[in-house]
Amino acid sequence: MTALPPDYDTDPERFLSNAKWGHDDVHPYVAERIAQAGANRVLDVGDGHGALTRLLPDLGMKGILLDISPTMVALGPRPAVRADGRRLPVSDSSFDAVAALYTLYHYEDPLVPISECRRVLRTGGLFVACSPNRNSTPELSAVLPLSGESGTFDGEDSPAIVADVFNGPHDQVEEVRWVGPMHTLTDSAYATAFLRTMGMSEGGASAAANQLELPMTLTMRGCFVYAIKG
């Protein structure tokens, strides 16, 4: 079990490569859930160029983006802070909600950033994490080199990991598992872009895309974990 190495500064196009194709996305669902919780101040930890943060003002919330990558912070909405999720430069109990979406698998020990997220939440505040399952996108198993391998924060394990931190007598942890056709790879350009986001090089993704029978609808599986600090 290893953490997914970040390459957001050395190869930012890998992360950004499929942004021009329209597809379903988890961030609007999370933004709505945070709004329903009555949050005002939201800390968006490790969200790259701020896909969640951008949605918050229209829902009446104030978001602060925090990411360790200077490249991503430069692309994100203001205010944005470059910082390590393991050492949040934030006072205790200062946010109504904290999100860590598609980021905790970059840590060898995700308990550390989750503990920091809990620390900066006010009592009654909402934490939300999201990650894909090991068995997501089975249609690509023949071309993805690490398909099915365990990471440090897979969707299958994420609720238990969060519960190890949110373990107070009044804390609450809820898992919401999801499955859906978020992406339909219509042509080789889209397939190459999607494979890039899965960690492949430009050349490797292009070669793999040429092996696929397109169009191809992918079965995406993952898990939201919502936790309330009691």
pLDDT in tens, 26-72: 999 999 999 999 999 999 999 999 999 999 999 999 999 999 999 99
Residues in contact with 150: Cβ distance below 8 Å, sequence separation at least 6, in sequence order? 1, 134
Task: Give the mean pLDDT of the chain.
Answer: 94
Residues of the chain with pLDDT > 90, as a percent, come to 82
Whether 33 maps to a domain, the answer reads yes
Q: Predicted confidence band at 16 (pLDDT cuts at 50, 70, 90)?
A: confident
The number of domains in the chain is 1
**Is the pLDDT higher at 1 or at 94?**
94
Angstrom CA distances, 105 to 46, 185, 195, stand at 11, 25, 18
Whether 93 maps to a domain, the answer reads yes
Whether 96 maps to a domain, the answer reads yes
pLDDT in tens, 132-168: 999 999 999 999 887 778 999 999 999 999 999 999 9
pLDDT of residue 79: 96
The CATH code of the domain that includes 168 is 3.40.50.150
pLDDT of residue 7: 83
**Is the pLDDT higher at 129 or at 198?**
129
Whether 201 maps to a domain, the answer reads no
pLDDT in tens, 101-116: 999 999 999 999 999 9
Is omega for the bond preceding 12 within 30 degrees of 0, making it cis? no
- Asked whether residue 17 carries a pLDDT value surpassing 90, the answer given is no
Residues in contact with 57: Cβ distance below 8 Å, sequence separation at least 6, in sequence order? 63
Q: What is the mean pLDDT of residues 8-31?
A: 84
Whether 135 maps to a domain, the answer reads yes
| Bridge pairing between strands 62-67 and 41-45 | parallel
The domain in which residue 128 lies consists of 12-181+221-228
- Asked whether residue 199 carries a pLDDT value surpassing 90, the answer given is no
Whole-number Å distance between alpha carbons of 157 and 76? 30
Q: Predicted confidence band at 11 (pLDDT cuts at 50, 70, 90)?
A: confident
Whether 147 maps to a domain, the answer reads yes
Q: Predicted confidence band at 212 (pLDDT cuts at 50, 70, 90)?
A: very high
- Tokens for 121? 């939440």
* pTM for this prediction: 0.94
Whether 5 maps to a domain, the answer reads no
Helix (H, G, I), strand (E, B) or coil at 129: strand
Whether 63 maps to a domain, the answer reads yes
173 and 158 Cβ atoms separated by less than 8 Å: no
